[in-house]
Chain A
Amino acid sequence: MSGLSTPSVIPFPRLRLWLLAVPVLLLIAYLVLMDNGAISQTGAYLHELMHDGRHLLGVPCH
């Protein structure tokens, strides 16, 4: 039960290196949700492939 009531605190210095993953993950989210060719350089292809997902996840599509 002690493991449930007192979760171990992760010191911030141990977390810092992992934060480098955040820009990569945000780039994935951007490509899926918002890119219209500016970064992916695929023209409208990514937009068309992710089209239904963008509409139904609620982000502005077109």
Chain B
Amino acid sequence: MVRTLLVRGLLLGLLAGLIAGGFAFAYGEPRVDSAIALEEAHAAREAPGHHHGEEELVGRPGQKAGLFLATGLYGLAVGGVFALVYAGLRGRVGPRSEGGLALAAAGTAFVAVILVPFVKYPANPPAVGDPDTIGSRTLLYVVTILVGLAATAIAVATARRVTAGPWARWVAAVAAFLVPVVAAWTLLPTVNEVPDGFPATLLWQFRLASLGTQLVFWTAFGVLFGWVSDRAARRAAAVPATAALPV
């Protein structure tokens, strides 16, 4: 039972990751290319004659293929973790139908793990960001993910204590989620490493493409996981009934 769910999560996560990779390739890569062109033009102005094209470990075509490797492996890993969480939640927390739970859990994961960090530390294209601060920025990013997950747990626990009907339960859940999240957004240090003169439109388009990539991943994954789980449940329910029929 758990193994079926885990394999389902791994495979559908890989598939959803590749779908998200396709979106990122179509809508994100042109922005990455523009940002790299700006970065190189800037470097050429700073140090004319200096070329660093030959010493690249992975060229641009390799990095574009690496995009699918990255989103695919990301989907595999995230899909596997999702499936194990789903296995623990099923029948205990959230919607009772398989498809409903898959969609609700994927939507919640997108908000907690993607949207909460994105609002505070939005994605940045190449040419934005100081390599010397990568360690602290990664740590802050992970902290916001943990805040999102903890806030989700608090929201679920709060909602389960409220017995006054669905409206009161939803208001309590949203409030219990937002209080720690907004507190973290306010208290955590702000990072702004966008260089002066970097085109605002390009930054906006890149960030939209980046958020879109995650939205495509979580939508595709939630729909696929819910659809396959619903189908499996329907089949499991139908088998004993058919077997009992006299031939």
Contact = CB atoms under 8 A, between A and B. Distances in A.
Interface string A2-31: 111111111010110011011001101100
Contact of A4 (B21, B57, B80, B237): B237
Given A18-B87, A50-B69, A56-B123, A7 B77 contact: no
A60 B98 CA distance: 34
Given A22-B84, A28-B77, A49-B62, A58 B114 contact: yes
Nearest to A54: B70
23 contacts: A4-B97, A7-B98, A7-B101, A8-B90, A9-B90, A10-B91, A15-B87, A18-B3, A19-B84, A25-B76, A26-B81, A45-B57, A50-B66, A53-B24, A53-B66, A56-B24, A56-B28, A56-B71, A56-B209, A57-B24, A58-B123, A59-B123, A62-B134
Interface of A: 1-10, 12, 14-15, 18-19, 21-22, 25-26, 28-29, 32-34, 36, 43-45, 48-62
Interface of B: 1-3, 6, 21, 24, 28-29, 32, 56-58, 62-64, 66-71, 73-74, 76-78, 80-81, 84, 87-88, 90-92, 96-99, 101, 114, 117-118, 121-126, 129, 131, 134, 137-138, 141, 206, 209-211, 213-214, 230, 233-234, 236-238
